[in-house]
Amino acid sequence: MDIKKKRRLKIIIAAAILTCFALAFRASDKYFEIAKSLDIMASAYRDLNDYYVDSVNPSKLMQAGMEAMAQSLDPYTWYFSKDELSDLSFETTGKYGGVGISIQKSNDSIVISDVIENAPFARAGIHTGDVILSLDDTPVNKLSMDQIAGLLKGDPGTTLNTQILHAGGDKVTDYKITRQEIDIPAVSYSGLAAPGIGYIRIGQFTEGTAEEVKSAFLEIKKEHPELKGLIIDLRGNPGGLMIEALKTANLFLPQGDTIMSTRGRLPEWDHVYTAGSKPLDAQIPIAVLVNGGSASASEIVAGAIQDLDRGVIIGRRSFGKGLVQTTRDLPYDTKIKFTVAKYYTPSGRCIQAINYSQDNNEGYVSLIPDSLRKDFHTKDGRVVRSAGGIMPDKVVSKDS
């Protein structure tokens, strides 16, 4: 080996060693900051519990701190205490322990806005429009909506005492209701919207959504063999499980087509997701309905249908949640859900509307400006924009 090659090799080795040292120091600095911050937090937590003027509940104080830390990152990063795990379970399964009603506040009254068929309240003879006066002997006018929702939920088999004022009269009845597992179907309605046009409304992407959509579509085709088109209604659908959105899109997309991709800070979150199975029907004309309440998993389906020119998107611009979360177990039966990646439609669009990593001049996060939006192209060459949500092909002024 000549002198020049030896010198070059020494330089390369020296550079590699320096790089390793730099990375090691950078990692050690990071872990020192973590250890320092934990030490400060533990000291403050101990002092607040020991010396605060009023009695402090240690668990509630820690929970408040955990929630504030998570929420400082983005609205989708969340800490779940043991008591809140039922909320996380409902997000993924569509099931919860409760009495099977929806409520709304009208003036100072808590009015039942919906009653699920065969659920505990329905079997007791309580109807839409009835007013809840008390729950477990506590007048509801002394409770927040969150507290009321918390009392209505509970483990299956537990009981709830409630006082109901029936709609259209002055009759007040006391009930003792036994909670049960409530299963909210993902497909809230399916049938014909017009002669030859099928209609499937998806309320949320929970476990089994794709199978429900498949069953609903096959039932419509069985009853109406002359089916000429399909409407998929995603209005007000807040999202849910990414895997169910992928499976649902796969029902109507050619096998092998890209449905979406994800990119994170760590390479382990970089993935390309394709239609891995044969479609249920890759030919039937499709219209997807969206609005400002269509988010996340809904936008995955709508974005794939639009970018692959598989159908037309109708309605108003969707919410614009292009972030992916994962959940990890923590000690003492608690969990944390946090954002690990952004997702991209087949054309390469990220439809995230808000940049949570940067504050504006007032210290608040803000919408990504139009000047940073880019043009992308669908499978057939149509121009689509990263518009902070899915911009419909046909915009309508309001839901109908």
Q: Which is catalytic among the residues 86, 190, 261, 296?
A: 296
Report the alpha-carbon distance of residue 169 to residue 167 in Å, rounded: 6
CB hemisphere CA count around 48 (13 angstroms)? 14
Is residue 321 flagged as an active site residue? Answer: yes
Across the strands, what pairs with 339?
A: 325
- Which conformational region is residue 127 in: left (phi greater than 0), alpha (psi within -120 to 50 degrees), or beta? beta
Q: Exposed/middle/buried for 171, CB within 10 Å: 0-12, 13-18, 19+?
A: exposed
**Measured CA distances, 61 to 67, 68, 90, 116 (Å):** 10, 11, 26, 37
In angstroms, the first-to-last Cα distance of the chain is 79
Give the closest residue to 315 by CA, choosing from 233, 217, 194.
233
Give the DSSP per-residue string, 120-131. HHHHTT--TT-E
Compute, in degrees rounded to 10, the torsion defined by CA atoms 46, 47, 51, 55. Answer: -40
Report the alpha-carbon distance of residue 181 to residue 306 in Å, rounded: 37
Q: Which is catalytic among the residues 261, 307, 318, 386?
A: 307
Q: Which is catalytic among the residues 86, 257, 321, 347?
A: 321
- Contact between 218 and 281 (Cβ < 8 Å): no
Alpha-helical regions (H) of the chain: 3-51, 58-71, 85-93, 120-123, 145-152, 209-223, 242-250, 297-307
3-state secondary structure of 361: coil
Report the alpha-carbon distance of residue 308 to residue 285 in Å, rounded: 13
230: phi then psi, degrees, rounded to nearest 5: -140, 135
- Contact between 295 and 237 (Cβ < 8 Å): yes
Is residue 307 flagged as an active site residue? Answer: yes
3-state secondary structure of 317: coil
Report the alpha-carbon distance of residue 227 to residue 216 in Å, rounded: 13
Is residue 342 flagged as an active site residue? Answer: no
Pair of tokens at residue 368: 């990504």
Residues annotated as part of the active site: 296, 307, 321
